[in-house]
Structure 1
Amino acid sequence: MADNPFEPQQGDPERGGGPRLQPRGLERPPVDPHAAAVFGRPAGVTGPFDEEYRRRAVQAAERPGTRPAPPPPSLAEAFGPTPDDRGVVLQRPPDDEGEQDEATYRPTRKTLWGKQDDPWRNPGSPVALSEPALREDADDEDDRPQRRRASALSLSEIVLGGRLRRSAAVVCVVVVLLVGAIGGAVGWYIADQSNELGKEVTLAQVGSGKQRPPGSVAATVQEVVPAVVSIEIRTGSAGGVGSGVVIEEDGYIITNDHVVAPAAEDDDAKLTAVFTDGTRAPAKIVGRDPKTDLAVIKVNVRNPTVIRIGKSADLAPGDPVIAVGSPFGLENTVTVGVVSAVNRPISAPSESGEGTVVYDAIQTDAAINPGNSGGALVDARGALVGINSLIRTVSNERQEGGSIGLGFAIPVDQAIKIAEALIADGKVAHPELGVQAASVAANTSEGARVQNVVPNSAADRAGIREGDVIVRVGERMVRNAAELTVAVRAHEVGQRVPIKLVRGGREIVTTAKLGSDDPNAGR
């Protein structure tokens, strides 16, 4: 090879001959003075470390009296060897016999503190690998207890994570046992007390918690119900039910004529009165009045409860009333309402076919249904003010009609008068004017137009003619034919009554001496 490597060299003839070019020399660009001042070596330093500094430091450490100050206690405690590690050098693996090779691993330099090299203290100390923490092939009996201790955990470490001392753990266990014992005792006591519920006990006897003051609906009903009976009618295979009210201690009961009419027409019919205490007594008809739909029957019982008799003339719309009866066979049914109207003329076909039933009714919104007929309508004091008789209802072919809040009762003032006559004579006579009339309107006045005058009747003798429109009888205004009948019956047989009528657009007042509908009665 030539002395100058950058000169062209003669090639090997066997490999192609010819000259070869050598590598080009390195190009060293100039160094920036500012960068050299920042990153360059200090003056007098030619290598990567300042050997002169290290040499001076070592000499100063070996010079007596020049030993550097010891490290702070906190650092010495944190990084220094523990008392158990005195004489142990890290990173010195033992040989096959467990002995360290001091000749091989003896340090050759001193540290700044005059101690052997320690890889944790001096970066320049030699580095070597140590044995693993646990060796699988270790058979040394001395290592087994140590490994057993390392793998076994105490109770305090498992339960408390090793954070408390053994004495504290014992205290905690005692407290837990004590709490468990107390809880068990409390549970046993509660269970024992619960068993006491099965033992014989005596409850305090107290009075009724519901106080019903006098005059309340419940108190009134308790007085009235025993005086109201259910009336059963049996005629062959057919039957019916109605209601009645006991008005005399001798067992006289007032009811509606249409309730007992089937029994009056059939000699084999059975009539039975059923009291609230379950007593059943056969009854017989005392008298009937088809024109006012009233009848009286009698039963033989001892000391029946008799209803108190009130006065219907004192009623006014809005007064509270109570209806008691057996609607649809439901005994002792109570409904409550008010008086909707008084002096309401009502007319209906008679059950016996004997003319038309007409009376001056009490209208009420207390629910009245089939079976209530003949029952009691009482005021707030429990006094009888009416006998339930009719209802206004809506019915069709598939369903039987019921109450729509329009019920009618016969005023007790009229009912008792008729009942007394029936008990005394078995019949009753009503005052009669002797005309047939229809409801019409005469000019601006409503009234009853006379269609026929019975010869030699009270109307005939008073000069009343056909076509006259009667508008008043006595002190009562007449607005239709039904009201004419009830206005006349409000008087007595043989009584003279002024009658006001309209004839040809003129008002005429005449006086008529009322007759009787009983042909055997005197006129």
Structure 2
Amino acid sequence: MTTAFGRPDTTTRLQRPPLDASGEPEVEPVFWEGEPAGDAWRDPGASAVIGPPAVSEKAAEDGEAAQVGRGPLLSVPELLFGRRVKPTALALLLVVALAVGAAGGVVGWLFGRAGNELTDAGVTLAEVKPGKERPVGSVADIAKRVTPSVVSIEFKGANVAGVGSGVVIDGAGYILTNDHVVAPAVQDSSAKLTVVFIDGKRAIARVVGRDSKTDLAVIKVEADNPTVLQFGDSDELAVGDTVLAIGSPLSLSNTVTEGIVSALHRPVTAAGENGGPQVTYDAIQTDAAINPGNSGGALVDSSGALVGINSSIRTETGGSVGLGFAISGNYARKISQDLIQKGEVKHADMNVNVRSASAETAEGAQVQNVPDGGAAAQAGIVEGDVIVKVGDRLVRNAAELTVAVRDHEIGETVPVTLARQGRELTVQVTLRSD
């Protein structure tokens, strides 16, 4: 502490340069001895010297600036390796890099194969080149020929919307469908009918005529050369014959289902649209799947001819259970032709009110009321009579009497067999218009 913070020793003197023999201080020569003082920094005691100007006086007088040269650029090898490399060395390095990459790929492929012993990238599945043979008359052949003539019918308005089906029956654009398909659009002035063809083309449809009693209607569109479906003879059908139902069930357009004719001449009745007259028609029963949206579509036979217009199903579940009904093709042809030619249809009628009856002695349509001046009254039919036959057709209930009478023409006289007080008799009835 005394040494560090005590008073300095007064005997201590600053170091002086050594003296020479004459008693003068020795001075070491400077390293620039004998050289001109070109750099002021070499002699700390020298005065500052201003260096030469950046531009020579001559260049300044000429107005030209001194040109500064650019150094050489680095090559790629110098940039990558910091020095020049021989081309052969570069080529060798590239070959080594490619070899390492290839080796890594092979190793990865081997590890990949070893990861799952069940896979094999070398397997190629066999393919049969020839197309499947479809003989003429097969379901596929019939569907190919028929589906272009079956259309979807869409109706949409402020309060109604739905989809049904239809069949092109004439090249002028006439389409046959069910009356209950077009009825909502007719009853709602804001609604419009649109027909959609198999190729996606759409056309606005207009109603030509309706027959609410038989649930048939004809509409018309403007279309260029539509595919027309020809009518067949539905009277030639037999139970067990193959039939196809084509339409748009559940809005699934161009749906084809296959089945058989389950029964013929099955009378079908249904309530009329919005309080309209009761619907009654002679139906072909089929187990070909028919669902909501199939209405108005085609039922075709094994030749692809139109033998029915799909109209309804009978079900307790709301879905298809193999009980579908189509309006017979021969009757649909007659009704549609009248609608196209006249815009309306008149039906043959006996002008009698009946109910279904079944007893030990008779089964048929029992007369409830006979209006005066009607065809039945003129023929002598009275209340309580049970009609069992019209022409050649048996009558087993009230609906069958209606379709049996409509099979005949207005003004035609037909024999009607009936049971009265336990005995059978036949009367001649001249049918009138409904």
TM-score for the superposition, normalised by structure 2: 0.70
Describe the SS at the equivalent of 1:374. coil
**What is the match of residue 246 of structure 1?**
168
The answer on whether the counterparts of 2:160 and 2:185 sit within 8 Å (CA) in structure 1 is: no
Structure 2 residue 376 is matched with structure 1 residue 459? yes
Residue by residue over 1:60-86, the C-alpha shift from the partner in whole angstroms, topping out at 9 and shown as x without a partner, is: xxxxxxxxxxxxxxxxxxxxxxxxxxx
Displacement of 1:442 in angstroms is 4.2
Match among 367, 372, 390 for residue 473 of structure 1: 390
Residue by residue over 1:114-167, the C-alpha shift from the partner in whole angstroms, topping out at 9 and shown as x without a partner, is: xxxxxxxxxxxxxxxxxxxxxxxxxxxxxxxxxxxxxxxxxxxxxxxxxxxxxx
TM-score for the superposition, normalised by structure 1: 0.58
Structure 2 residue 178 is matched with structure 1 residue 261? no
Letter in 2 for 1:300: E
Distance 1:435 1:363 in 2: 28
Over the matched positions of the two proteins, sequence identity in percent amounts to: 61
Displacement of 1:325 in angstroms is 0.4
Instruction: Work out which of the two has the higher radius of gyration on C-alpha atoms and give 1 or 2.
Output: 1
**What is the match of residue 338 of structure 1?**
260
Describe the SS at the equivalent of 1:305. coil
Match among 296, 309, 313 for residue 218 of structure 2: 296
| Pair 352,415 (structure 1): closer, same or farther in 2 beyond 3 Å | farther
The answer on whether the counterparts of 1:458 and 1:514 sit within 8 Å (CA) in structure 2 is: yes
Distance 1:213 1:442 in 2: 52
The answer on whether the counterparts of 1:325 and 1:332 sit within 8 Å (CA) in structure 2 is: yes
Distance 1:515 1:454 in 2: 13
**What is the match of residue 367 of structure 1?**
289
The answer on whether the counterparts of 2:160 and 2:184 sit within 8 Å (CA) in structure 1 is: no
Distance 2:418 2:230 in 1: 41
Letter in 1 for 2:167: V
Distance 1:473 1:352 in 2: 31
Describe the SS at the equivalent of 2:401. helix
**What is the match of residue 244 of structure 2?**
322
Match among 378, 383, 401 for residue 300 of structure 2: 378
Letter in 1 for 2:338: A
Match among 404, 413, 433 for residue 350 of structure 2: 433
**What is the match of residue 142 of structure 2?**
220
Distance 2:128 2:148 in 1: 27
Displacement of 1:209 in angstroms is 1.6
Describe the SS at the equivalent of 2:164. strand
Q: How big is the alpha-carbon RMSD for the aligned residues of Structure 1 and Structure 2? A: 1.9
Displacement of 1:206 in angstroms is 9.6
**What is the match of residue 20 of structure 1?**
none
Distance 2:212 2:387 in 1: 25
Displacement of 1:237 in angstroms is 4.6
**What is the match of residue 307 of structure 1?**
229
Residue by residue over 1:471-516, the C-alpha shift from the partner in whole angstroms, topping out at 9 and shown as x without a partner, is: 1111111110011111100100000011111111111211010000
The answer on whether the counterparts of 2:210 and 2:343 sit within 8 Å (CA) in structure 1 is: yes
| Pair 253,443 (structure 1): closer, same or farther in 2 beyond 3 Å | same
**What is the match of residue 420 of structure 1?**
337
Displacement of 1:443 in angstroms is 3.6
Letter in 2 for 1:495: E
**What is the match of residue 402 of structure 2?**
485
Displacement of 1:211 in angstroms is 1.7
Residue by residue over 1:153-199, the C-alpha shift from the partner in whole angstroms, topping out at 9 and shown as x without a partner, is: xxxxxxxxxxxxxxxxxxxxxxxxxxxxxxxxxx9xxx9xxxxxxxx
**What is the match of residue 182 of structure 1?**
none
Distance 2:376 2:331 in 1: 24
Letter in 2 for 1:421: D
Distance 1:226 1:206 in 2: 29
**What is the match of residue 148 of structure 1?**
none
The answer on whether the counterparts of 2:213 and 2:279 sit within 8 Å (CA) in structure 1 is: yes
Distance 1:499 1:309 in 2: 31
Residue by residue over 1:2-39, the C-alpha shift from the partner in whole angstroms, topping out at 9 and shown as x without a partner, is: xxxxxxxxxxxxxxxxxxxxxxxxxxxxxxxxxxxxxx
Distance 1:331 1:439 in 2: 39
Structure 2 residue 268 is matched with structure 1 residue 351? no
The answer on whether the counterparts of 2:206 and 2:220 sit within 8 Å (CA) in structure 1 is: yes
Letter in 1 for 2:222: N
**What is the match of residue 516 of structure 1?**
433
Displacement of 1:238 in angstroms is 3.0
Describe the SS at the equivalent of 1:226. helix
Unaligned runs of 5+ in 1: 1-186, 192-204, 396-400, 518-523
The answer on whether the counterparts of 1:471 and 1:479 sit within 8 Å (CA) in structure 2 is: yes
The answer on whether the counterparts of 2:208 and 2:343 sit within 8 Å (CA) in structure 1 is: yes
**What is the match of residue 48 of structure 1?**
none
Describe the SS at the equivalent of 2:338. helix
Letter in 2 for 1:287: G
Letter in 2 for 1:308: Q
Q: Count the aligned residue pairs.
A: 313
Residue by residue over 1:378-429, the C-alpha shift from the partner in whole angstroms, topping out at 9 and shown as x without a partner, is: 011111000000100113xxxxx11000000001100010000000111000
Structure 2 residue 144 is matched with structure 1 residue 230? no
Distance 1:237 1:344 in 2: 35
Residue by residue over 1:79-125, the C-alpha shift from the partner in whole angstroms, topping out at 9 and shown as x without a partner, is: xxxxxxxxxxxxxxxxxxxxxxxxxxxxxxxxxxxxxxxxxxxxxxx
Letter in 2 for 1:477: L
Structure 1 stretches (4+) deviating beyond 4 angstroms?
205-208
Letter in 1 for 2:336: A
Distance 1:393 1:338 in 2: 18
Q: Note the 1:55-74 alignment, pairs <5 A.
A: none
Distance 1:310 1:276 in 2: 22
Displacement of 1:208 in angstroms is 4.9
